Structure 1
Amino acid sequence: MYVAVKGGEKAIANAHALLAKAGRGDERQPRIEHAQVAGQLAVLVARVMNEGSLYDPELAARAILQAQGDALEAITLVRSYRTTLPRFGYTEPVDTAALPPQRRVSATFKDIPGGQQLGATFDYTHRLFSDPAEATTGFADNESATAHEDEMPRVADLLGVEALMEPERPADFDDPEPADLTREPTVFPMSRAERLQALARGDEGFLLSLGYSTQRGFGRTHPFAGEIRVGEVEVEFDAPELGFAVPLGRIEVTECQMINQFTGNADTPAQFTRGYGLVFGRAERKAMSMSLVDRTLRADEFGERRVAPAQDEEFVIMHADNVEATGFVEHLKLPHYVDFQAELGLVRRLNKERMAKADAAAGTSSEEVEALA
């Protein structure tokens, strides 16, 4: 047993060395620095920060390099590091209504106060490879980029003036302190605040698929992108010893408010309802997917039947965490010799019994064959 363990340790050390060599690539090429990754692969960095539950572009870039571009491995690195950090407290809720957007679009109205602001997006690019030697040398002026914050009201608030949109907070909403999913066990049913925590750090691909399913009839949604904003918000920390909130800095976020139909019921008039998504960095696809799934998971609030996977809170939340999912899938690569030998023995025994019955049946009457069957 000692020899096997010793040999295993040596093999693992060699595997680590080979991994480092494969990750370095051609040594004639300059090594990629994490500052380059953070600056030029911002969308990938945003995904790692979101699903790693830690806003730190530099650390996320380091994780991407160490993981050789494997997003899930980088997310696991960030999540693991996060567990070692001390907790000083909670920041104040960020004021996204005052977010000065770098990008702001709405699919509900052509003309909105403050105007549409296209910003940096792939939405209008041709899916053709570009010449890497070409560089952008100019920037188009954008009038809405200089608009004052009070000139950009939320689209959902415009509908709320006519009572066509559900209130952002119900009249009886007491704003309880939400549970912290990183410190407390998951208990179902969850509050919406807890679900949003889980969705914000959920796997983008999984949420995208669920969001897509809701539009294909598996979730009773008929969504409109009410508003998508990308920009920086200020984060404040309420220090008890000071008695007031202290600005910590600004972070880039993407916010999506999805507008959905609701025909009403005996207690509630027909109105539009909300799906919400808020994530780190430039991550519109994630924010939109999150808002679609958020609205679908609110089925009970509106008396809707839950008939689709995306409406099943436990199914969605328990399978959205890609760190847990990756660990459970990849653990299959670990030795399962004893388990497999046990099942192999079982299959052999069952086949042996089946063959014995067949042999016995071959020399008996039809009545005896039926009895054996």
Structure 2
Amino acid sequence: MYVAVKGGEKAIANAHALLAKRGRGTADSPRIGYEQVRDQMGVLVSRVMAEGSLYDPDLAAKALLQAQGDVLEAVTLLRSYRTTLPRFGITPAVDTAGLPSERRVSATFKDIPGGQQLGATFDYTHRLLVDELETTDVPPPDVPVDEPMPRVAALLGVDALIESDRPAEGWTDPDPGDLTREPTVFPMTRAERLQALSRGDEGFLLSLGYSTQRGFGNNHPFVGEVRVGEVEVEFEVPEIGHAMPIGRIEVTECEMVNQFVGSADVAPQFTRGYGLVFGRAERKAMSMSLVDRALRRDEFGERSVSPAQDEEFVIAHSDNVQATGFVEHLKLPHYVDFQAELVLIRKLRREFQERQATRESAAHDSTREDTNRLEENA
């Protein structure tokens, strides 16, 4: 605590009041409701939900308002709230294979079963600021396509041109660990890594994903498929003996197709990178899939030569709540630590000055001896 600050607890209360005043803005401006944030800033809300690892658009919007638009602060608020919630059970893995997509695009094939679905995207906007966002001529939105949309990677799987999405026959899928309840232990399973990446900082993952495209990852990626839509979530109810649907959530899924030259035991084929994120978050899902593939280096016998391939580096630094806490704690008082460093620096400087004085004295004595010797010879 900053005990030297004038006012003590009163100063802290005033700081809180000033923060609230700054967040409110001028009194004559209308107050923003969380419903407006939820409905009109869906991409931002999706990011807070993903990195906060809690799917609740209302709470994410409220957190953004309380944090005055600070994404990391909003994520921290949502994570903190999440820790107070009871756990009633687990849900089976969501089935994204039949995801009725609002948006579904592939960069690998022009014509794909079910067709390409543009949906809501910034990809074709001109990136020009407009004076007024409200428009009267809003075209009717695309509706999700009911036609079956098999995975694009399945087309490559017919001729074994891509690795199987299932391991060898007879393999059973173990229950994944829970990073929110168990300590992180390296090396991690792929399921645990995907958990960490899914709630990792978007900017950090974007930078790492970009690094792999620039050659720091030994892969050349293609977007096999990006889907955005709602999936049904089921809950295992022990009393009735089977899963029951409890609602739908919006997710973004990306499957990246990467080159692999093969080995002595495996024929050349494409490999996969995977990303799945809450809400509309294509950039995050794509970055996640790029980093996921880079972290699978051991599976394919690839050398670790870049940061994106280093599991401990990626996972330990991708969590923005931990990163924020560790960086921002530097603002807190460190008086004792600094005084210890100050004493050490002063001691080292005294020793340095003493050595300098000793060297200068020795040099002076040597010069005087040389001068006397020259005078004697003369």
Give the TM interval when normalised to the shorter protein: over 0.9
- Greater C-alpha radius of gyration: 2
Match of 1:313 in 2: 311
Shift in alpha-carbon separation, 1:24–1:149, aligned structure 2, 3 A: same
Return the match for 1:364 from 362, 369, 373: 362
Deviations 1:94-125 (A, max 9, x none): 11111110000000011111111111000110
2:193 to 192, 195, 199: 195
Structure 1 residue matching 2:259: 3-state secondary structure: strand
Mapped pair 1:339 → 2:337 = yes
2:64 equivalent to 1:85: no
Which residue does 2:252 correspond to in 1? Answer: 254
Distance (whole Å) between structure 2 residues aligned to residue 261 and residue 349 of structure 1: 58
Q: Which residue of 1 aligns with 2:158?
A: 161
Change beyond 3 A, Cα 1:160–1:11? same
Deviation at 1:356, TM superposition (A): 2.2
Q: Distance in 1 between matches of 2:215 and 2:269?
A: 20
Matched AA of 2:16: H
Cα offset for 1:221? 1.2
Identical counterparts, % of pairs? 73
Could you say which residue in structure 1 is the equivalent of 2:213?
215
Check the 8 A contact 2:276/2:285 in 1, yes or no: yes
Summarize the alignment of residues 1-373 of structure 1 with structure 2, pairs less than 5 Å apart: 7-132=7-132, 134-135=134-135, 137-139=137-139, 145=143, 147-150=145-148, 152-172=149-169, 173-365=171-363
Give distance in 2, aligned partners of 1:209 and 1:170: 30
Listed as ranges, the gaps of 5+ residues in structure 1 are none
The one-letter code sitting in structure 1 at the alignment partner of 2:285 is A
Shift, 1:92, TM fit: 1.1
Measure, in 2, the Cα distance between the counterparts of 1:352 and 1:2: 32
* Inter-partner Cα distance in structure 2 for 1:320 and 1:366: 58
Match of 1:243, as an amino acid?
G
Give the CA deviation at 1:322: 0.3
Contiguous gaps of at least 5 residues in structure 2: 368-378
Of residues 198-207 and 355-364 in structure 1, the stretch that sits farther from structure 2 once superposed is 355-364
Q: Quote the offset at 1:149 in angstroms.
A: 4.0
Task: Find the residue that maps to 2:97 and give its secondary structure.
Answer: helix
Q: Give, in whole Å, the separation in 2 of the partners of 1:368 and 1:334.
A: 53
Structure 2 CA distance for partners of 1:225 and 1:342, relative to 1, 3 Å: same
Q: What's the secondary structure of 1:354's corresponding residue?
A: helix
In the TM superposition, what whole-angstrom CA distance separates every residue of 1:36-82 from its partner, at most 9, and x where no partner exists?
Answer: 00000000000000000000000000000000000000000000000
**Between Structure 1 and Structure 2, how many residues are aligned?**
366
CA contact (8 A) 1:297 1:313 kept: yes
Q: Give TM-score, length-normalised by structure 2.
A: 0.93
Q: For structure 1, which segment, 291-300 or 163-172, has the greater mean C-alpha deviation from structure 2 after superposition? A: 163-172
3-state SS of paired residue (2:253): strand
222-231 or 112-121: which moved more? 112-121
Q: Structure 1 length normalisation: TM-score?
A: 0.94
Q: 1:356 to 1:114 in 2, by over 3 A?
A: same
SS at structure 2 position matched to 1:238: strand
> Please, what is the CA RMSD of the aligned residues?
1.9
Query: Residue deviations 1:171-206, cap 9 Å, x none?
Result: 243100000000001111111000000000000000
Q: Distance in 1 between matches of 2:3 and 2:43?
A: 47
1:161 maps to a residue whose letter is V
Alignment CA distance shift 1:117-1:28 (3 Å)? same
